Amino acid sequence: MEDMARGERSPTVFPIWQRQILNARNPPQVTCIHHEYDEINTNEVPSDNMAHKSFFFSLKGIKALRNQLPFHLKDCSTFELLLAFLWKCRTIALKLQPEEIAKVSCIVNVRGKRYKMDIPPGYYGNAFTFSAVCSTAEQLCKNPIGYAVELVKKAKAQMNEEYIRSVADLMVIKGRRIKSSTRGNFIVSDLRNVGLGDVDFGWGKPIYGGAAGAVAVFSFCVKYQSKNGEPGILVPICLPQSAMERFQEELKRLMIQGSMEDLWNTNQTQVFSKL
């Protein structure tokens, strides 16, 4: 679309539709445990009176969070750190019962050579999946952030070609009629390196490139600059109004616990289109 908008005669990369690449095996074989599709009988998060806010984490703020980790986890990725931190705050905000299960999932792009799925350049279908790890709300809330980071790293580590094939097989066996609980579930995608901020339709690079906001349990991380030009990461969150207030309080409490109150920002960040 970029090429066409700029008046090019042909696209740089031609679109390809080879959906059979991601077909289930014959016969389908579910060889992995997929907690992300566990069907849990529990009360769902109410969909009315929802609050939407975006939280900006500066590089200094991220470093401050990392300083709270034990030595063997200090080399975790920024995404792992933020996901663990937000998962814990969100679970506390929702006031889950101690024995209730809290799940976190990170969406993984299966393109490229890492997962050996042989998806050609130009393939324009969906090519992502996600894995989940679980914890009781009690364990997640009472333990330090390092506990959540360990679980997030586990979720990422279990993703491989066999896991991806197993997901496709599960979809066929279940007939795609899989309903996962939204209560206690948190799914986040890292969009910082997708290149949305570099898209150019002939008017120059966008001021903002990314989704408009969080949707229920789905959120994402994007590159962003504060009003002062400070680089960092923007994370939108969607919660019931009462839970959002508790979420912000918990976020503040944990940052104060690390003596870094001035390094976080709970004001909603507004993104205006210039088109």
Write 195-202 long-range contacts (CB < 8 A, 24+): 196/222, 197/222, 197/223, 199/2, 200/2, 200/6, 201/1, 201/2, 201/5, 201/6, 202/5, 202/6, 202/7
Domain ranges of the chain: 1-20+45-257
Q: How confident is the model at residue 55 (pLDDT cuts 50, 70, 90)?
A: very high
The two three-digit tokens of residue 97, written as one number? 């019962």
> What whole-number distance in Å separates Cα of residue 80 and Cα of residue 69?
12
The model's pTM: 0.84
Please tell me the least confidently modeled range out of 27-41, 83-97, 143-157, 260-274: 260-274
pLDDT in tens, 25-52: 999 999 999 888 887 655 566 667 889 9
Q: 117-128 burial, b if ≥16 CB within 10 A, otherwise e?
A: bebeeebeeebe
> What's the confidence (pLDDT) of residue 47?
63
> What's the confidence (pLDDT) of residue 181?
64
Task: Specify whether domain 1-20+45-257 bears CATH 3.40.50.720.
Answer: no
Count of beta carbons in the 10 Å neighbourhood of residue 150: 18
pLDDT in tens, 90-140: 999 999 999 999 999 988 888 877 888 888 888 888 888 888 899 999 999
